[in-house]
Amino acid sequence: MTNLPNSLQQDSAAGTKLFFDRYGERPLEFGANEVGAAIAFFQSRGFENDAAIITAQVLLNQAKLDAVPVFKIIDTLKNFNGVQISALVAEILNNNRNATSSLGYRTDLVEKQNQTRNIFA
């Protein structure tokens, strides 16, 4: 399994394989208001349209799997700043990716003013 897009298969049984690969799994369904609210939330936080759609899709899937209302998650996320939202989105996306690949971000190391070392010579 890779993170690369699926290549088109020239196999005549591709449709049958796809059907049986997903046999017994219930598709996840979402209300239009949930989808619209999730996408609008990420767009209002500066995400580009495609990034907002993909991030909202992952958030909706995770909310459905965890049996948590998506509006409750969005209400909680409203209190987060940009860095906290980015960290959460990276964590959610990493949980939904192959284990051989992960997303990360760089932060500057900030020293606290009251953090000093006592060094005796």
pLDDT tens digits, residue range 17-57? Answer: 777 776 666 777 888 999 999 999 999 988 899 988 988 98
* Residue 40, pLDDT score: 94
Cβ neighbour number for residue 54 with a 10 Å cutoff = 15
Q: Are 41 and 56 in contact (CB under 8 A)?
A: yes
Query: What is the overall mean pLDDT for the chain?
Result: 78
Q: Is the pLDDT of residue 68 over 60?
A: yes
Of 48, 37, 44, which Cα lies nearest the Cα of 70?
37
Q: Is the pLDDT of residue 1 over 60?
A: no
Q: Which long-range contacts (CB under 8 A, 24 or more apart) does 82-91 make?
A: 82/45, 82/46, 83/107, 85/45, 89/55
Q: Residue ranges of the alpha helices (H) in 25-81?
A: 32-44, 49-66, 70-77
Write down the pTM of the prediction. Answer: 0.61
* Residue 86, pLDDT score: 78
Report which secondary-structure segment, H or E, holds 78.
none
Q: Are 67 and 100 in contact (CB under 8 A)?
A: no
Q: Is the pLDDT of residue 76 over 80?
A: yes
Specify the residue for token string 């196999």: 11
Q: What is the mean pLDDT of residues 75-102?
A: 79
At 6, is the pLDDT very low, low, confident or very high (cuts 50, 70, 90)? low
At 88, is the pLDDT very low, low, confident or very high (cuts 50, 70, 90)? confident
* Residue 101, pLDDT score: 72
